[in-house]
Amino acid sequence: MMQMNLRPCLDEFEKLLLRMNTPRVMIDNAGCVNATLVMIDSVRKDGILLEAVQVLTDLNLLIKKGYVSSDGRWNMDVFHVTNLDGNKLTDDSIINCIQHSLGSIHHTRSKSIDGMTAIELTGTDRIGLLSEVFAVLADLKCDVVESKVWTHNGRIASLIYLKDCESGCPIDDSQKIESIEARLRNVLKGDNDIRSARTLVSMAITHTERRLHQMMFADRDYESTPIIKTNGEYSPAVSVQHCLEKGYSVVNIECRDRPKLLFDVVFTLTDMQYIVFHATIDTTENGAYLEFFIRHTDGSAISSEAEKQRVTLCLISAIERRASEGVRLELCKEDKPGLLAEVTRTFRENALNVTRAEISTTMGKAENIFYVTDARGNRVDSKTIESIRQRIGLDYLRVKELPLPYGNHEKARNVEGGAVLLALGSLLRRNLYHLGLIKSYS
């Protein structure tokens, strides 16, 4: 009997499947005057939009415009991106990194801190809380290698990566871990914690900002009473409507533009078990305007007013968590045990509230960013800032004033924003019409 060798045929078939399932990435610097076009064609897969946005975000790129179409079996994303200075991408290493990362997007790994002990903290925010947390860690001989802190609606979430001061290794002693958890839990509870404080020590590898969103979502910060501001701020405008013809729910968002805005929104929708089928993203000097056509993972649209309200509140919270409130203070100084405890104690003694913090240590040097307000959430007096700089060191602590998180452009928001949203909606409906997904876009 004749035997046939099917292995070569199978190898060619496997190669074909690999090519079909590997995203095709094109980068064009000539098609747009003021941005680099990043285009991704791929087989449709849930979560691929989030992974693509995360790759661009982790490279510190700004997404100025975007168009997403994902129906049937194919997905197409087009992003207009710039560097942080608003210029096109000319660095070949960045371009190659985009192509490599997006081209292997099905196999990407989350950005994380490996080989460290991770501590998760959530609780009621108050002035001086970070000072107490870092003081406890310094007392327990724990070195903070990296940390991010978010606050929103009176709640705080922090992810802190530690190593043992003496050994320089991750902390794996069970008794020390129990002591860290117990003491930090007492600090978080304070005297008037309105909810249970939570701590978790683990060796897990995770994407820090994804985890912070999940922690605050689990803490239900979106249900908290918003903190009343007196400086003219307003919340993002979010609406959820129905596109009955094809069973979509349509989410429109209008807010101040900022880095990582699209990541925060797309991650929240994905984590809430919604799939983005079509989207239009546009940013101008007056703000960002986003439109998403979504369904549940089971294919259904949002079905109740209660669910619409929950989606609205969760998206507003996701946008506000990373908002840069107050004055930005940048600390660059040789690292030493207890440095964070000293700096944050100085903030506490001057009645400053840390609304957000980014802590990192590189080659023995602390590079930390703090966003601070006064006790009522207002801008800190310049004399207070200078007094703090004198104590910490003028050469070590730099000041950068920030605009209000959502500005005070109410007129532009009501007039121009509505016109842009209408235009974006028409553009997306036209695209859906040409794709044969709706009967009319008029």
| pLDDT tens string 196-254 | 678 887 766 678 999 999 999 999 999 976 665 544 456 899 999 988 778 899 999 99
Residues 269/276, Cβ–Cβ less than 8 Å: yes
Nearby residues of 397 by Cβ (< 8 Å), 6 or more positions away: 329, 330, 331, 388, 389
73 pLDDT tier (thresholds 50, 70, 90): confident
The rounded distance, in Å, linking the Cα atoms of 43 and 30 is 26
Mean pLDDT comparison of 79-83, 182-186, 400-404, highest-scoring range: 79-83
- Report the pLDDT averaged over residues 356-377: 94
Least trusted range by pLDDT, from 15-19, 260-264, 326-330, 397-401: 15-19
What confidence score (pLDDT) does residue 194 get? 55
317 pLDDT tier (thresholds 50, 70, 90): very high
The average confidence (pLDDT) of the chain is: 84
Residues 229/373, Cβ–Cβ less than 8 Å: no
Max intra-chain CA distance, the chain: 95
pLDDT tens per residue, range 99-116: 988 877 654 444 445 568
- Measuring CA to CA, how many Å separate 56 from each of 187, 346, 368, 391? 37, 36, 23, 39
Q: pLDDT exceeding 70 applies to what percent of the chain?
A: 79
What confidence score (pLDDT) does residue 418 get? 40
The rounded distance, in Å, linking the Cα atoms of 155 and 412 is 31
The rounded distance, in Å, linking the Cα atoms of 119 and 180 is 9
The rounded distance, in Å, linking the Cα atoms of 227 and 325 is 12
What confidence score (pLDDT) does residue 3 get? 53
Nearby residues of 105 by Cβ (< 8 Å), 6 or more positions away: 23, 40, 42, 48, 51, 52, 55
Residues 421/289, Cβ–Cβ less than 8 Å: yes
CA torsion angle for 342, 344, 345, 348 (degrees, to 10)?
A: 170
What confidence score (pLDDT) does residue 12 get? 58
76 against 20, higher pLDDT? 76
129 against 190, higher pLDDT? 129
3-state secondary structure of 195: coil
What confidence score (pLDDT) does residue 434 get? 42
The rounded distance, in Å, linking the Cα atoms of 66 and 79 is 4
Judge whether residue 71 has pLDDT over 70: yes
Residues 379/231, Cβ–Cβ less than 8 Å: yes
**Which domains are assigned to the chain?**
20-107 (3.30.70.260), 117-225+324-401 (3.30.70.260), 237-321+409-434 (3.30.70.260)
- Report the pLDDT averaged over residues 360-367: 92
Residues 106/21, Cβ–Cβ less than 8 Å: yes
pLDDT tens per residue, range 148-189: 999 999 999 999 999 998 888 888 888 999 999 999 999 998
Judge whether residue 406 has pLDDT over 80: no
305 against 198, higher pLDDT? 305
Q: What are phi and psi of 241, to 5 degrees?
A: -130, 180
The rounded distance, in Å, linking the Cα atoms of 279 and 290 is 7
The rounded distance, in Å, linking the Cα atoms of 171 and 192 is 31
**% helix / strand / coil in the chain, to the nearest 5?**
35, 30, 35
Tokens 């008029």, located at residue: 442
Judge whether residue 370 has pLDDT over 90: yes
Judge whether residue 19 has pLDDT over 80: no
